[in-house]
Homo-oligomer: A and B are copies of this chain.
């Protein structure tokens, strides 16, 4: 190689460090007292829950982040959330949790759903995006799925009409549809997103999903600079796996949101890496974005090979929600660097590391 091109290469290589993973200098002027530590309720949960929440605790400690956790032991078989846990969340307003294993069938309703309904966390948000350095079959994926969290097919209203015949009520209200549409468009506006897509099956469920669409259309009129379109859910699933780059923000009722979020998470790298949370007017609960498969296989738990990345990125979202942007940036940058390097990955990403090894790598990369 000629001498000139070598110098040019050196210069460019110095500038292109890590192809996009950059810590940048942000001028942020805090209010006096912004550094006071905040209490956050922590629910380790079942399965891989304790493993990944412990990962978050270690990283927060290493960063000296201004938060402290109030830990509570809750398991999926409990009939209801313990009142002291609800008390704590109402006081702190922010909660971080692992999954709670919902028994299939039986009479026990899901504690996850109970929590969301009691605190009226009406919006569930999952951000599915390609992580640099993690190759997948689909590129340029950056989808945010905003899912209505309190009604729809999850109303929990079922009854046996006659023996052998069961009715399950799917409830759609204008009130809930309107507020989730408002949240989705507000999210798009505040985060410089260009398009909101409503996912529905209104050709079949003309009244229920029709009401949902009506609400979305009304809200869309108030945001003329954001493109709005609609897509039927079956076509949507096909488009997701064929051409995911066409989607930006997606607003969906409850059940479709669950499926779309898990699909989008799967194409962009897996449920082990996607961050997400649930937010209401007064409270926010952060957890893994999409958790297909409930709380993880027992084998993963026994071998301590659960992927902590998703909950670490969710806790970065939580730090940003609590207005600690510098800590959130540091955490996200460290996690993305670890993923990009590729030395330290858990089984779901094709590697052999344990949870603790990933945590140590992230702590080492903190600046």
Contact = CB atoms under 8 A, between A and B. Distances in A.
A139 to B, nearest CB: 14
A182 interface: yes
Interface string A177-212: 001001100110111100000000000000000000
Nearest to A282: B31
Contacts of A191: 26, 28, 30, 326
A75 to B, nearest CB: 27
A190 B326 contact: yes
A10 B24 CA distance: 24
Contacts of A163: none
B320 A29 contact: yes
Contacts of A324: 190
Contacts of A182: 32
Nearest to A318: B29
A243 interface: no
B326 A325 contact: no
B129 A30 contact: no
Interface string A27-45: 1111111110000000000
Interface residues of A, number: 63
The quantity of this chain's copies bound in the complex is 2
A192 to B, nearest CB: 5
Contact of A32 (B64, B281, B323): B281
A5 interface: yes
A178 to B, nearest CB: 11
B20 A15 contact: yes
A125 interface: yes
Contacts of A30: 186-187, 190-191, 279
22 contacts: A1-B5, A2-B2, A2-B5, A12-B13, A16-B16, A22-B22, A27-B313, A27-B317, A28-B320, A28-B321, A29-B277, A29-B320, A29-B321, A31-B281, A32-B186, A33-B281, A35-B186, A64-B225, A191-B326, A192-B330, A192-B367, A320-B325
Interface of A: 1-2, 4-6, 8-9, 12-13, 15-16, 19-20, 22, 24-35, 64, 66, 122-123, 125, 127, 129, 142, 179, 182-183, 186-187, 189-192, 225, 275, 277, 279-281, 284, 313, 316-317, 320-321, 323-327, 330, 332, 367
